[in-house]
Amino acid sequence: MAAAQRIVIENCSIATVDAHDTEYATGYVVIAGNRIEALGAGKAPEGLENVVRRIDATGHLVTPGLINTHHHFYQWITRGLATDHNLFNWLVALYPTWARIDEQMVRSAAQGSLAMMARGGVTTAMDHHYVYPRGSGDLSGAIIGAARDMGVRFTLARGSMDRSEKDGGLPPDFAVETLDGALAATEETVKQYHDASFDAMTQVAVAPCSPFSISTELLRQGGELARRLGVRMHTHGSETVEEEKFCHELFGMGPTDYFESTGWLGEDVWMAHCVHMNDSDIAAFARTKTGVAHCPSSNARLAAGIARVPDMLAAGVPVGLGVDGTASNESGELHTELRNALLINRLGAHKEAALNARQALRLGTFGGAQVLGRAAEIGSLEPGKLADLVLWKLDTLAHASIADPVTALVFGAAAPVTASFVDGRQIVADGRLLTADEDAIARSTRDEAQRLARIAAQG
């Protein structure tokens, strides 16, 4: 890194979220190129060469960038609908509208979803996109292009559905793919876009949607495809009691046993939600190192229940945080999920001992890196890791009287982001995106939401 351009951040509190939860009350971070070169207490080392910028971060906490492990970007243009429904009724209400999306709508919705997360401290995002209506255009390309333009590190979980209403599923018939078509399109997406390198900005996972919208063959063959191509696997699991009942009626077993029977447990797999998990389910996830994307706001919005996150963590299950689609979490912000994960889990069996502030921060950073299979590269502030980090401003009215900065970040109001860096490049300054026009995105998403509503109303 001797010849790399350096950025020096000084006079800040630092929460590294490393294996020892190392923290510095006042310290520095040196970025060299796209890597973290050094960090520690006190002032940065003297004599650093090629320093192109020094940031006085007095009053700030520096953390790893937040990592989102579950989302549905397209839902940005269907926010505020079916607000008093449980999951199955919500899906039935919205699938006919979602089935009308096209490439222009998806690109705009992806921009809105990414912009909202990025300006709130997300440096790595993912999108589980599974609605591919016939003739809708290059949806995967539109999503990946939006993330590339925003400058956010990104995983596309290329979803699919082949169980429609005529087969006992929930999606309309014209909104699903065939088994062979879904597998072929998924393989092509992996081959075209997946980057397996250490500093990859774009990766692809194989992600059939959910037990009630896919055939057993799509699940099984999708898993085989992922392992042949060497990429990760993602789906929804154990989200509601209705799903549990559905699996028992259709497959004669609960969701976890069903997933295991189809090859869908393993250290290369992560599931969204996992709300209704018994002791044996958690043990199976721990034994196989299957990951979980915890989405507390969405679970509350759809009255799905409280996931047993403290028990999962105690058992050794990798757990990260997810926004989930913004039709079930209209704010679309991951930094608010730190607080919501802590508060909602304290309503469960473990009460005040469920989670603390540092555990919540770990879920949103290193836990997410584990779940996405990138713990060696991101998720903590350590020399040699990629320079994905956030400067949270904690010296204003909202936080200044809270002595502990991590407590301020998690328990307090959503903290302003003074700067966010991805791969060593700053993408946010003083709460505004540097890589996109937020006002133009707002206008575009409003127009596309209205266009979709008109099309859906016409049937």
In single-letter form, the type of residue at position 306 comes to: I
How many domains does one find in the chain?
Answer: 2
Burial of 110 (0-12, 13-18, 19+ CB in 10 A): buried
Contacts for 47 with CB less than 8 Å, ≥ 6 apart: none
For residues 57 and 77, state if they share a domain: no
Final residue belonging to a domain, choices 372, 390, 406: 372
Q: What is the mean pLDDT of the chain?
A: 96
Copy the structure tokens of residue 318.
């990798």
Residue 26 domain flag: yes
CATH of residue 87's domain is 3.20.20.140
Residue 126's φ and ψ, nearest 5 degrees, are -140, 155
Q: What DSSP string runs through 12-70?
A: EEEE---TT--EEEEEEEEEETTEEEEEEESSPPTT-SSEEEEEE-TTEEEEEPEEB--
For residues 57 and 93, state if they share a domain: no
Final residue belonging to a domain, choices 345, 372, 399: 372
Q: What is the pLDDT of residues 214-228, one digit of tens each?
A: 999 999 999 999 999
Q: Which whole number is the average pLDDT over 188-193?
A: 98
Residue 244 domain flag: yes
With tokens 């099309």, the residue in question is 455
Q: What is the pLDDT of residues 305-358, one digit of tens each?
A: 999 999 999 999 999 999 999 999 999 999 999 999 999 999 999 999 999 999
CATH of residue 428's domain is 2.30.40.10
Give the confidence band of 2 by pLDDT, cuts at 50, 70, 90: low
Q: Which domain range does residue 429 map to?
A: 6-64+380-433
Provide the pLDDT for residue 1: 56
For residues 60 and 192, state if they share a domain: no
For residues 176 and 194, state if they share a domain: yes
Tell me the C-alpha distance between 336 and 326, whole Å: 13
For residues 413 and 424, state if they share a domain: yes
For residues 11 and 135, state if they share a domain: no
Residue 455 domain flag: no
Residue 332 domain flag: yes
Q: Is the pLDDT of residue 169 over 90?
A: no
For residues 43 and 178, state if they share a domain: no
Q: What is the pLDDT of residues 132-160, one digit of tens each?
A: 998 999 999 999 999 999 999 999 999 99
| DSSP, res 206 | E
Residue 442 domain flag: no
- Give percent of the chain with pLDDT exceeding 90: 93
In single-letter form, the type of residue at position 354 comes to: A
For residues 12 and 59, state if they share a domain: yes
Copy the structure tokens of residue 183.
């597998």
Q: Is the pLDDT of residue 240 over 90?
A: no
Residue 450 domain flag: no
Residue 360 domain flag: yes
| DSSP, res 354 | S
Final residue belonging to a domain, choices 325, 348, 372: 372
For residues 386 and 287, state if they share a domain: no
For residues 78 and 186, state if they share a domain: yes
Burial of 249 (0-12, 13-18, 19+ CB in 10 A): exposed
Note whether 15 and 37 are within 8 A (CB): no
Copy the structure tokens of residue 229.
């191509």
For residues 137 and 179, state if they share a domain: yes
Give the confidence band of 294 by pLDDT, cuts at 50, 70, 90: very high
For residues 357 and 385, state if they share a domain: no
Q: Which whole number is the average pLDDT over 388-395?
A: 98
Residue 51 domain flag: yes
Q: How many CB atoms lie within 10 A of CB 89?
A: 13
